[in-house]
Amino acid sequence: MKDIKRWLPGAIISLVLIAIILYFVDFRTLADAVRNANYAILSMSALLSFVWMGIRAKVWQTLLRDKPRYVDVLFATGEGYLLNNFLPFRLGELGRAFLLSRKSGMQFGEILPTIVIERTVDLAFSAGVLLASLPFVVNAQGSERIGYLVGGLVLFGLTMMYVLARNNQWALDLFHKLSHRWPVIQKLGGSFLESFFAGLGVLTDGWLFLRFLFWMTLNWIVALVAYYLITLSFFPQAQPQWTLFILGAAAFGGAIPALPGAVGTFDGAISAALTLFTGDQSTSLAVALTARLYNYLNSTVIGGIGLIREGQSLPQVYRDLMALRNKKE
């Protein structure tokens, strides 16, 4: 209950969105959509979910400079996503760093910054995909100009991150100087920035950063193909460009405070985005729920196997993570 201020806003957002979704959905249409879906196409997207997880593990291993074994990174990645599906406070991010430190010999403080960088670049990809899809949503002219703008913004963001990586001590000193009147902000922000800047070190290694971008780009391509197949299995008229908007919306929906697994926000983002193209809210929800199962499939199988291999359980890991979090606070 002492954490009620942290979990209550997300719970309220999730419950409100669930209520809105249920109000507008026709359950008979939803059931018909599930019954008539193309399961041959869905099976291909299910296979791609495991390909996606495998590449995501390679993304992380690259940021870790290939120090841990790939198999350890793969299972830790699956465990992290599994924890995020069922535990509050996005403990999966902390959890995969914690679990990988146990089996790789790397220090927890050495691993955590790489997750911060991974998520930051992930957010940049999300923004790029979402912005690039807007011309198809609003039928705007000059979509190539928007593409140039998106590319420019992403390039500018990466350039600024590189500048910070080269001048991280100056940036930290400036932050501490400006925040000295607010000790709480200085403590929390300083800790985050130190981890963030440590992870930014990957930007100063050109070959390593190019490898990281390659695997991250491939990871997003696999996700786009998988989400297109999911959409196509319910809407035969689906266009590939729809997936840009759907996946971008899903990424941001998953980032909004919510119950574990982004319940309500993830589903609402996908169904709302797809409804803009189809006008069919009920079948769009079927797509959203299938996308949720897609995410649960790879994390449950790979993460579950990882926990079993290590003799761990969700309650035990949760207790360890809460103890670690409280210690850091």
**What is the tens place of the pLDDT at every residue in 29-52?**
999 999 999 999 999 999 999 999
Mean pLDDT score across all residues of the chain: 84
pLDDT at 300 over 60: yes
* Cα distances (Å, whole numbers) of residue 317 to 27, 45, 212, 314, 323: 37, 30, 29, 5, 10
Instruction: Give residue 149's pLDDT.
Output: 67
pLDDT tier at 150 (50, 70, 90 boundaries)?
A: low
Range in 147-161, 239-253, 309-323 with the lowest mean pLDDT: 147-161
Residues comprising the chain, all counted: 329
Instruction: Give residue 140's pLDDT.
Output: 47
pLDDT at 120 over 60: yes
pLDDT at 233 over 90: yes
- Rounded to two decimals, the pTM is 0.84
pLDDT at 139 over 80: no
Rounded to whole angstroms, the Cα distance separating 55 from 215 reads 7
pLDDT at 327 over 80: no
Average pLDDT on 203-216 reads: 86
Could you give the count of Cα atoms lying within 13 Å of 25 in the half-sphere of its Cβ?
Answer: 24
Q: pLDDT tens digit string along 79-104?
A: 999 998 887 767 788 889 989 998 88
* Cα distances (Å, whole numbers) of residue 193 to 72, 164, 168, 242, 289: 27, 11, 9, 36, 36
Average pLDDT on 294-322 reads: 88
Instruction: Give residue 36's pLDDT.
Output: 95
Range in 91-95, 150-154, 266-270 with the lowest mean pLDDT: 150-154
Average pLDDT on 153-169 reads: 74
To the nearest whole percent, how much of the chain has pLDDT over 90? 39
Tell me the one-letter amino acid at 189: G
Token output for 160: 């600024």
Average pLDDT on 51-77 reads: 95
Rounded to whole angstroms, the Cα distance separating 126 from 121 reads 9
pLDDT at 1 over 80: no
Structure-derived torsion over alpha carbons of residues 203, 215, 58, 263, reported in degrees to the nearest 10: 100
> CB–CB of 248/276 below 8 Å?
no
Token output for 236: 């035969």
Instruction: Give residue 136's pLDDT.
Output: 72
